Structure 1
Amino acid sequence: MNGKKKPLPPGQFVYPSFERFGLGLFAKRFPNQTERIELSIGGDVESTLTVAGELSSLPRVEQVSDFHCVTTWSCLDVRWSGVRFSDFYEQIVAPRVKPRDDATFVVFRGQDGYACSMQLADLLAPDVLLADTVDGHDLGIEHGAPLRLVAPAHYGYKNVKHIAAIEFWRDRRAYRFPFPYPQLMDHPRGRVAFEERARYLPIWLVRLVYRALMPGARSKMRKALLAYRSRGGSRA
């Protein structure tokens, strides 16, 4: 970067390490399996499909991008590898699953029970990946094994880990942000550049609340991961 400090998006600060992080409800929830990729594709579609080895037929790409958590911390220059979501959609989903033309509300569901939505137009950006490695290594439990979404322009909570299902819907009827968390925590797009951290609430208030909750969330995640490893959890 020619000695220049990389500018950060509004309201973010650099955190020195890239750790497992997320909603406290999911701290003790881990995927059932991490060695094999298997995705269920459905929604408002002509045919459902289970995708397994098909991802290996798509071109692999590697990219370096920044990761921005909605709670205001950032990790810079993370190296991901996987396949572009646009290739996945155009070469597998569109011809074989055939979503309705207006099925542009996309829901990702993780093995741990977490779910979040994205707009199809955002997912087709060239830097959005279905990733299976980070910094040259297979994804571990902390970063979403065996497969996760990487959407650098969107806050981390939109980047679903341990993906088990992808659904293409015409509207929100089949989706709810994980209970008991309030729906206002889930912005329809969650774009970092526009600081779309939540719905309705003023940005300054959201920043304050998230920063206050961050230490407790980190502690809970660390303890849960240590307990998982002590039980012999795989790819930890």
Structure 2
Amino acid sequence: MQKMLPPGQFEIEDFPRFGLTKYADRYKAEREPLSLRIRGDVDTPLTLDAENLASLPRVTQVSDFHCVTSWSKCGLEWRGYRFRDVYEKIIKPDAKPHADATFVILKSTDGYRAILPLEDLLGDDVLLADTLDGEALCAAHGAPLRLLAPAHYGSKSVKHITTVEFWSDDSKYVAPAFKFMGHPRGRVAYEERSGSVPGWILRYLYRPLIKPTIRLFKRTMK
């Protein structure tokens, strides 16, 4: 029986390294130590390492990954820590984010960034993942740590995550691409591919770019 996919998505066999083309040549094959900075409207800035996270329960979940350009890779097994646990057990008591700091900016070591509401990040299925299909996360897919937000398009699941910033508004966020390409939430079920263009239109604009983008990212890993 064929798997039901979200609106406008099609399934592919591989799970390619993918993203905005300007980040393709920022690939680093070497694995860097885990370091996660907590900044923004907080009383006490923190920097977390693997030892800090090791105090939390580890979670394994099978989730599909849906790229905003319309391809999906189904049935991936992820392992890591629930973002909610990291927030409730470490960030909230130790960094003390301000009560109105509900806009969260997530930054990567390669300069990429995304924004999500705190309420979305506290969902049951949102992970800070370090393992994919039983193996330590490789550099191509975001080592040493990445966000996984399965209910959102992959553009929100920041690879190589290095900084989490909590802010009272979204004025500190600078989009990594043209503004029309982003959405403040990017929920897959609602086809929130853009905040200004209907999602179904972008399916057809993005699809011709998928194969060339996959080839570009492959070349930069050699």
Instruction: Name the TM-score, length of structure 2 as normaliser.
Output: 0.97
Instruction: Supply the distance in 1 between the matched residues of 2:199 and 2:45 (Cα, whole angstroms).
Output: 40
Question: Root-mean-square deviation (CA), in Å?
Answer: 1.1
Q: Deviations over 1:116-154 (max 9, x none)?
A: 011110011111000000000001111100000001000
Mark the runs of 5 or more structure 1 residues left unpaired by the alignment.
227-236
Structure 2 counterpart SS, 1:37: coil
Q: Deviations over 1:152-183 (max 9, x none)?
A: 000000000001101001111211111xx211
For 2:95, which of 69, 94, 97 is the aligned residue?
97
Instruction: Supply the distance in 2 between the matched residues of 1:120 and 1:186 (Cα, whole angstroms).
Output: 17
What letter matches 2:20 in structure 1?
A: L
Q: Paired residue for 1:17?
A: 14
Q: Paired residue for 1:186?
A: 182
Instruction: Supply the distance in 2 between the matched residues of 1:109 and 1:60 (Cα, whole angstroms).
Output: 23
For 2:216, which of 213, 220, 223 is the aligned residue?
220
Structure 1 residues 219 and 61, CA, compared in 2 at 3 Å: closer, same or farther? same
Contact 1:31 1:162 in 2 (8 A): no
Contact 2:131 2:137 in 1 (8 A): yes
2:166 corresponds to 1:165: no
2:57 corresponds to 1:47: no
Structure 2 counterpart SS, 1:57: coil
2:186 corresponds to 1:198: no
Among all aligned residue pairs of Structure 1 and Structure 2, give the percentage whose two residues are the same amino acid.
51
Instruction: Name the TM-score, length of structure 1 as normaliser.
Output: 0.91
Once the two structures are TM-superposed, the CA of residue 33 in structure 1 deviates from its matched residue by 5.7
What letter matches 1:16 in structure 2?
A: E
- How many residues matched? 221
Mapping 1:146-161, distance limit 5 Å:
146-161=144-159
Instruction: Supply the distance in 2 between the matched residues of 1:34 and 1:150 (Cα, whole angstroms).
Output: 19
Mark the runs of 5 or more structure 2 residues left unpaired by the alignment.
none
Contact 2:30 2:139 in 1 (8 A): no
Q: Paired residue for 2:84?
A: 86
Contact 1:31 1:111 in 2 (8 A): no
Structure 1 residues 210 and 120, CA, compared in 2 at 3 Å: closer, same or farther? same
Q: Which runs of 4+ in 1 moved over 4 A?
A: none
For 1:114, which of 112, 115, 120 is the aligned residue?
112
Q: Paired residue for 1:8?
A: 5
Structure 1 counterpart SS, 2:129: strand
Once the two structures are TM-superposed, the CA of residue 203 in structure 1 deviates from its matched residue by 2.3
